[in-house]
Amino acid sequence: MNLGNDREMEERYDRQLRVKGWDQEKISNATVCIWGVGALGTFVAAELAMMGVGRLVLIDFDTVEVSNLNRQLLYREKDVGRNKAEVAAERIKEINKNVMIDVFQTSIEEVPMSVYRKVDVFVGALDSFEARRWANSLAVQLRKPLVSGGMYGFLGQVQVIIPFETACFECQPLVPSSKLSQVCTPPGETRKEKLKFKLPEAPIPGLATMSGIVGSLMTQEVAKLILNIGKTITYLFIDGLNNSFTEIELSRNPSCPLCGEKYQLSKVKITLEENEKIDSVINRLKLTYGLNKPKIAWKGKLLSPDKLVKDYGIISGDSLLVIDNAIVKPIKLIASINDKSQT
């Protein structure tokens, strides 16, 4: 990596090199992926660049809008209509030319897995519940830490997920879809076109101050994870209006479909009635696992919601895969057939 000469590094990073436990080499060798370069993502990207992180992977397919300018640090009026990740990369280079940057103007699901495997820490600065769940699922699958954040007016939250050590997003899903998971601004043209996006009744309120507070706390957690120092935030709730910080210690859920021991160490059965419609099974999966639009695969085929279990000849012991856009790795279940006709 292009880290500059020794004298330049000593001068640029002089103050942080004086911090107990700081290791600039670790920071300079780290790769951090930022999902979403908006209100929170721009602050995280800028601060990591100032720290001298070696490589940033910026992912955002949306465009800069006028309504972004009140709280998204790296954008200017002249940038309206341009891709956020592209503009952010240009500004970061102005902050620190030594930082290497990979830009992906696409959805987070479309980035090659080879890119994600090289990342040391993921940053979730996302504004949709589905995207956050997918990001959590990927982090768990790759066993890489994820720092996630959200904001709503004077409120904010930061959660750090260390797979198989701390609670993941599915263990304790604290973020309601009606609040911090809403989009914080009208989407750009690219996002509306790509996702056939429907505007919310009212975009959630957002302030530059909370972008800075929450974004900086997220950056600090990223640095601590890279350096392996300090105490990691489990879940921190911030009330900026009343100046309160509330930390909640979350516990891992043994029955979590992503990281729970129940699913890691044993085969989990799902009871199916022979005359049950596949659509009924899908609805049960939605309720059990909080999935979005699950599909069931058996022997390499997707099961039709209109058919019955017995139409496919599924028998007890067969493996079913549950696929959903909220998770990266399918959930594996073992069928247990209950034939009521014989009872």
Classified by CATH at the fold level, domain 6-248 comes out as: Rossmann fold (3.40.50)
Is 169 in contact with 159 (CB distance < 8 Å)?
A: yes
| pLDDT averages per 10-residue partition of the chain, 343 residues | 66 95 96 97 98 98 95 97 97 97 95 96 91 92 96 95 93 55 51 52 84 98 98 95 94 85 71 92 86 87 93 92 84 83 46
At 343 the pLDDT is 42
Angstrom distances, CA of residue 161 to CA of 141, 142, 219, 329 = 12, 12, 14, 17
- Give me the torsion for CA of 218, 221, 222, 227, rounded to 10°: 160
DSSP helix/strand/coil, 18: coil
Residue the block writes with tokens 């990591």 = 48
Question: Which architecture, in CATH terms, is 267-342?
Answer: Roll (3.10)
At 174 the pLDDT is 58
Q: Are strands 100-104 and 244-248 parallel, antiparallel or unpaired?
A: unpaired
Residue the block writes with tokens 């009330």 = 239
Backbone angles phi, psi at 233, to 5 degrees: -65, 135
Locate 93 and state its tokens: 């280079």
Is 161 in contact with 148 (CB distance < 8 Å)?
A: yes
Supply the pTM of this predicted model. 0.82
Question: What residue type is 173 in one-letter code?
Answer: P
**75 beta partners:** none
From CA 42, how far away is CA 91, in angstroms rounded? 10
At 259 the pLDDT is 87
Please state the domain extents for the chain.
6-248, 267-342
What is the secondary structure of 64-83 as a DSSP string?
A: --GGGTTT-TT--GGGTTSB
If we measure between CA atoms, which residue out of 128, 100, 115 comes closest to residue 38?
128
User: In degrees, to the nearest 5, what angle opens at C-alpha 146 toward C-alphas 170 and 99?
Assistant: 160
